[in-house]
């Protein structure tokens, strides 16, 4: 039985070209990029080339790219680094209720240790924060505003251009977790008023365990770990050369394919949303109906449990999720869905379907055939009644 993978928001398979390049580096490049002899210079050249590739993909200067171990570290460096750099001057963090835990937990940890004042803004039913609410929350001691570009669970895109313009006018650093959008949407930091931007390789067919943080020149960020001073002192530790090469190559490939591939996935996404709402009574679409990630469709089905949906579809050959993979072991409803104002019982029956390069129309047909009877069976088992 051919399995159908529909959980690309959690992770993507590594592109074969990327895997080949990484394997070549692991076999042939043994030097430490900080060493000045030939082997070190060879490794440094590869890191620099990857930095150029990442910078070119988002319109940055290579000197503005800092390599990290992934999106979580990039988010931590953005928040902790800005707060540390502004210590004694500003301690305010403004963020939203639907951010990834790498942002929310970091902000709350800083607050718990007396290092920050945190304002968590609500979102509307579609999962969008009001730019005006952000403006009202900024005061003279606000150090950073952090609003994700696209939500990893419900796919909603945030008004980052408007929010960034407000932050720039008020002299406040603006960070956006763009882990889900880099590689899928056009991003040009030359025209977007974003000071810090988080990137994660395994969301665009690169390896796990490597990411980057764009830090606009002039943005004050202190290192949050001590060591050898790599990455111009902004992120110390010996660089993961093969992973960084994979990150650069994956983003280069994603950028070259983005226009055609994202449009193709968006067509499949729209069909999936339309057909699920047509075939399954009381299917509740979550997230913004149109301003959402091109590959993301997310629903709640009353009278079901997300875990049961995932297991039932797994047995039928489909890999899906009921929310963020980072909290898959948590049986409580998603904090994102609760922030949208959904009833807790309804939020329990969540299903996230995220498409990728290998997703075909036949895959969508297969899912549409399998899902309705599964939902009907789970509802019958729970005794739930739904409107026709």
pLDDT confidence of residue 96? 98
Q: Are 246 and 14 in contact (CB under 8 A)?
A: yes
pLDDT confidence of residue 386? 74
Query: CA torsion sign, 53 to 59 to 64 to 70?
Result: negative
Residues 34 and 58 in one domain: yes
In the beta sheet, which residues pair with residue 198? 177, 213
CA 35 to chain centre: 34
What letter would DSSP give residue 115?
A: S
Count of positions (residues) in the chain: 388
The whole-angstrom separation of Cα 11 and Cα 152 is 11
CATH code for the domain in which residue 349 is found: 3.90.1150.10
Residues 126 and 196 in one domain: yes
Query: 127 — alpha (psi -120 to 50), left (phi > 0) or beta?
Result: left
Residues 119 and 183 in one domain: yes
CATH code for the domain in which residue 120 is found: 3.40.640.10
The whole-angstrom separation of Cα 145 and Cα 139 is 11
Q: Are 12 and 203 in contact (CB under 8 A)?
A: yes
Q: Which domain holds residue 119?
A: 16-253
Select from 200, 155, 138 the least CA-distant residue to 294.
155
The whole-angstrom separation of Cα 267 and Cα 250 is 23
Report angle CA 78, 79, 80 to the nearest 5 degrees: 100
pLDDT confidence of residue 239? 96
Q: Are 203 and 182 in contact (CB under 8 A)?
A: yes
CA 231 to chain centre: 23
Query: 323 — alpha (psi -120 to 50), left (phi > 0) or beta?
Result: left
The whole-angstrom separation of Cα 342 and Cα 164 is 28
Question: Residue 381 CB: number of other CB atoms within 10 A?
Answer: 12
**What is the pLDDT of the chain when averaged over all its residues?**
96
pLDDT confidence of residue 290? 96
* Global confidence as pTM: 0.95
Q: Which long-range contacts (CB under 8 A, 24 or more apart) does 217-222 make?
A: 217/61, 217/63, 217/64, 219/82, 219/173, 219/195, 220/82, 220/85, 220/86, 220/173, 221/77, 221/78, 221/81, 221/82, 221/85, 221/196, 222/81, 222/84, 222/85
Q: Pick the last residue of a domain from 190, 222, 253.
A: 253
pLDDT confidence of residue 330? 57
Residues 159 and 274 in one domain: no
The whole-angstrom separation of Cα 295 and Cα 357 is 10
The whole-angstrom separation of Cα 109 and Cα 103 is 10
Residues 271 and 226 in one domain: no
pLDDT confidence of residue 385? 76
What tens digit of pLDDT does each residue of 297-321 get? 999 999 999 999 999 999 999 999 9
Query: 317 — alpha (psi -120 to 50), left (phi > 0) or beta?
Result: left
Q: Pick the last residue of a domain from 237, 253, 269.
A: 253
pLDDT confidence of residue 314? 98
Number of domains in the chain: 2
The whole-angstrom separation of Cα 108 and Cα 190 is 31
- Residues with a known catalytic role: 326
Query: Which residues are CB-contacts of 212 (< 8 A; sequence separation ≥ 6)?
Result: 54, 65, 66, 67, 68, 74, 198, 199, 247
Which phi and psi angles does 385 have, rounded to 5°? -115, 140
Residues 246 and 266 in one domain: no
Q: Pick the last residue of a domain from 253, 279, 301.
A: 253
The whole-angstrom separation of Cα 118 and Cα 142 is 9
Which residues does the chain have with pLDDT short of 70? 1, 324-331, 387-388
User: Does a structural domain hold residue 21?
Assistant: yes
Rounded to the nearest 10 degrees, the angle between the axes of helix 306-315 and helix 361-382 is 130
Residues 58 and 133 in one domain: yes
What tens digit of pLDDT does each residue of 236-287 get? 999 999 999 999 999 999 999 999 999 999 999 999 999 999 999 999 999 9
């Amino acid at each position: 039985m051919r399995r159908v993978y529909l959980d690309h928001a959690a992770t993507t398979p590594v592109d074969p070209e990327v895997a080949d390049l990484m394997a070549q580096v692991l076999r042939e490049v043994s030097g430490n990029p900080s060493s000045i002899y030939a082997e070190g210079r060879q490794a440094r050249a590869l890191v620099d080339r990857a930095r150029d590739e990442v910078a070119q993909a988002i319109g940055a200067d290579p000197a503005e790219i800092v390599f990290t171990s992934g999106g979580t570290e990039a988010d931590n460096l953005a928040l902790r680094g800005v707060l540390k750099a502004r210590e004694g001057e500003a301690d305010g963090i403004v963020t939203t209720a639907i951010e990834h835990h790498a942002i929310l937990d970091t902000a709350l940890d800083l607050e718990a240790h007396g290092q920050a004042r945190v304002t968590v803004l609500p979102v509307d039913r579609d999962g969008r924060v009001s730019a005006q609410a952000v403006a009202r929350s900024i005061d003279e001691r606000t150090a950073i505003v952090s609003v994700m570009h696209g939500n990893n669970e419900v796919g909603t895109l945030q008004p980052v251009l408007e929010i960034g313009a407000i932050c720039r006018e008020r002299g406040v650093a603006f960070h956006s977790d763009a882990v889900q959008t880099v590689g899928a949407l056009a991003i040009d930091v030359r025209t977007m008023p974003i000071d810090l931007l988080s990137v994660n390789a395994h969301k665009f067919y690169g390896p796990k365990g490597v990411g980057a943080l764009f830090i606009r020149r002039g943005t004050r960020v202190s290192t949050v770990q001590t060591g050898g001073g790599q990455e111009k002192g902004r992120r110390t530790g010996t660089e993961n050369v093969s992973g960084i090469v994979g990150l650069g190559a994956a983003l280069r490939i994603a950028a070259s394919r983005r226009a055609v591939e994202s449009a193709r996935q968006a067509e499949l996404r729209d069909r999936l949303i339309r057909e699920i709402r047509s075939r399954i009574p009381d299917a509740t679409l979550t997230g913004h109906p149109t301003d959402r990630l091109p590959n993301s469709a997310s629903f709640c089905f009353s009278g079901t449990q997300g875990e049961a949906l995932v297991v039932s579809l797994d047995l039928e050959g489909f890999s899906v999720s009921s929310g963020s993979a980072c909290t898959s072991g948590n049986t409580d409803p998603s904090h994102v869905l609760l922030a949208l104002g959904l009833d807790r019982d309804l939020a329990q029956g969540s299903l996230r379907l995220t498409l990728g390069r290998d997703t075909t129309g036949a895959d969508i047909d297969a899912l549409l055939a399998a899902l309705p009877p599964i939902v009907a069976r789970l509802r019958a088992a729970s005794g739930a009644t739904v409107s026709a």
